Amino acid sequence: MARTNVEYRGRATALSRIRVTRLGVAATAVMLTAALGGCAQAPGSAAAAPKGVTVLDYGVTTKSLSSIPLLVGEAKGFFSDAGLKLNVAVVGQSGKVCQQVIAGALNVGECSTSDAIQAIGSGGKITIPFFMSQSVLPNSVYAKPGITSWSQLKGKTVMVAGPRDNTMYFTKLMAAAGGLNLKDVTLQYAGSSTDRFAALKSGAVDATILTTPYDFKAKTAGFTQLDDLTKHLPASQYAGNGVVVGRSWAANNKPVLKKLYSAMEKSLAYALDPKNKADVISVLQQQAKVDAPTAQWGYTKLLSSGYFFTGGKPDNGGLNGIVSSLKSLGFLSHGTVPSNTDICDETLVLGSS
């Protein structure tokens, strides 16, 4: 029988701190807001900024290959050229990035569109002003050596990021295509690919979903790739990710937000230009602290595959696909389904549509 709420204490010491609860995004944001009361200085306040520079507190789940626009923008000076300084906070879990943006602890954050939609549906006053990727992040499920089919996972332990995370939907979708119902496995949770790979490597779980570069690490370590998510979800059925901002903050900081968008677009254009391939790979090695083969893998998976794009506006069909996925999992019910214009307000950076 699958466990639906697990405090994971696996053998890998890196995972001992992980604890997953069912607190809703809005409820957690309220608690976080209370905890932050009395902080001496607001995020990105002018007092912390050098003259002529706007400081933004910018949250990411992890500063790795999936943050290519950020890494390239920092390395090539596109943010500083725009008069911006990004204080990057590594939060570790997508849902927590959304929570901290809602609470005002971050000005801007990179969280999954799935988590953003759940937050908005729960009353969180955030929106996505622009997107940087147009399709689902490349994810693969890797299993212990000897497990070569989904059916062999019946009765075994599978790890996803969280019970309300998009990795739950992704894994359920791939498992169903492979003839496995996730009710027939024991589910455990860890918010980042870093921790999920550690659990797989330690033998604490039998299979898990991973993204770049941890899919490459699993491949080179001899684990079995059971499935590749990109085979199941084209951009027209599941949109990519952008940045989230608080609505009030965005309304009061449109010029700053437009500068951020412009800098990100320059970063994306530079990264996507094939003539810059060698330099981008070098940036990934230095900024993400990976070796050359891993940087090459990430470049191919995330740039050459068409995951990233310029223009900022997502496919409406892709947004509808994410909403449908959340409804199918019971995470959005009648009265909590936000419209596409609630989810994505590109007029903040692109002007009136």
Query: Cα-Cα-Cα-Cα dihedral of 162, 165, 166, 171, to 10°?
Result: 20
Q: Is the pLDDT of residue 45 over 90?
A: no
- Cα–Cα dist 176/73, whole Å: 39
- Only one residue has tokens 């980042």, namely 192
Predicted confidence (pLDDT) per residue in 159-212, tens digit: 999 888 889 999 999 999 999 999 999 999 997 888 999 999 999 999 999 998
Predicted confidence (pLDDT) per residue in 274-312, tens digit: 999 999 999 999 999 999 999 999 999 898 778 999 999
Peptide bond into 138 cis (omega under 30): no
pLDDT attached to residue 40: 30
- Cα–Cα dist 83/256, whole Å: 9
**pTM of the predicted structure, to 2 decimals:** 0.80
